[in-house]
């Protein structure tokens, strides 16, 4: 069953959205596009400068130079993270939505895993999300409101061989989201997370065996993986006023059965 692409409905008209790891064809890129289709101005970032520049150029051609801006950011570097959110606020006047999408996966059994494998996944996926949440929250506190959406994963709930580092990081993202949301409520800031199961994109294909992808796809009720834009739709919902009473939630974007 092929899903039908949903047209924009102006859910983010006039708002400024920052999206990390937005280069390429994954969830971040799909989110940037969906936010633009919903009327937002988008500040995109990624650690890969060439891919980021190409993505920003393509989006600007379609949606206008005045609505798209890009800046490289490595989320393991606190100075770069601060500079990203400062630049977005300066460029567009405020930050209404921050989508913290940067993450790193991989497959390795714990018994064979080296410390640097564990540390790198945790530093990008969990610590990077913390740095971005903190930087966005400081701006939103001072401006009196905003929305943060973090990208977690169903693997933060479900066990899978070879994924202890990634699962620990994504479970940490969920816990971070819940605790930060309680702290942010007094500032009028909402913080939620999406937890996708299997969204197909080129990078996933590179780091995952075809046998495992086939096995994971077979677990999905619809017998297919999610398109990145289907996850982006849920991110847009959480960023919009339609989710005004939701905070501290991790929303599963999945058709997977146990």
In the residue annotation, 225 being an active-site residue is answered as no
Q: Which of 85, 166, 225, 245 is catalytic?
A: 166
CA–CA distances in Å: residue 200 to residues 7, 26, 73, 149, 214: 21, 8, 24, 20, 12
Cβ within 8 Å of residue 255, ≥6 positions away: 197, 220, 221, 222, 226
Cα(26)–Cα(35) distance, integer angstroms: 14
Cα(136)–Cα(97) distance, integer angstroms: 8
The answer to whether 1 touches 222, Cβ cutoff 8 Å, is: yes
Cβ within 8 Å of residue 159, ≥6 positions away: 167
Query: Counting every residue, how long is the chain?
Result: 258
Cα(118)–Cα(162) distance, integer angstroms: 11
238 HSE (CA, 13 A, CB side): 30
The answer to whether 82 touches 74, Cβ cutoff 8 Å, is: no
Cα(210)–Cα(82) distance, integer angstroms: 38
Which residues lie across from 19 on neighbouring strands? 44, 99
Q: Which helix (H) or strand (E) holds 253?
A: strand 250-253
Please give the positions annotated as active site. 166
């Amino acid at each position: 069953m092929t899903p039908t692409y949903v047209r924009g409905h102006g859910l983010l008209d006039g708002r400024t959205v920052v999206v990390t790891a937005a280069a390429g064809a994954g969830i971040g890129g799909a989110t940037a596009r969906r936010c633009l289709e919903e009327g937002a101005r988008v500040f995109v970032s990624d650690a890969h400068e060439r891919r980021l520049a190409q993505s920003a150029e393509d989006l600007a051609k379609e949606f206008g130079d005045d609505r798209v801006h890009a800046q490289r950011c490595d989320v393991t570097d606190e100075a770069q993270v601060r500079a990203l959110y400062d630049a977005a606020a300066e460029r567009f006047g405020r930050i209404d939505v921050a989508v913290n999408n940067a993450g790193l996966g991989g497959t390795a059994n714990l018994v064979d895993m080296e410390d640097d494998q564990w540390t790198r996944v945790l530093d990008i996926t969990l610590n990077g999300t913390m740095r971005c949440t903190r930087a966005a929250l400081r701006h939103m506190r001072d401006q009196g409101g905003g929305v943060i959406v973090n990208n977690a994963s169903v693997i933060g709930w479900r066990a899978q061989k070879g994924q202890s580092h990634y699962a620990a990081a994504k479970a940490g993202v969920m816990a971070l989201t819940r605790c930060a949301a309680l702290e942010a409520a007094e500032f009028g800031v909402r913080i939620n997370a999406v937890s996708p199961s299997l969204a197909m994109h080129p990078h996933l294909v590179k780091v995952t065996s075809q046998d495992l992808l086939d096995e994971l796809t077979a677990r999905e009720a619809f017998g297919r993986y999610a398109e990145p834009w289907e996850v982006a739709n849920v991110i847009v919902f959480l960023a919009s006023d339609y989710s005004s009473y939701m905070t501290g939630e991790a929303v599963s974007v999945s058709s997977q059965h146990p």
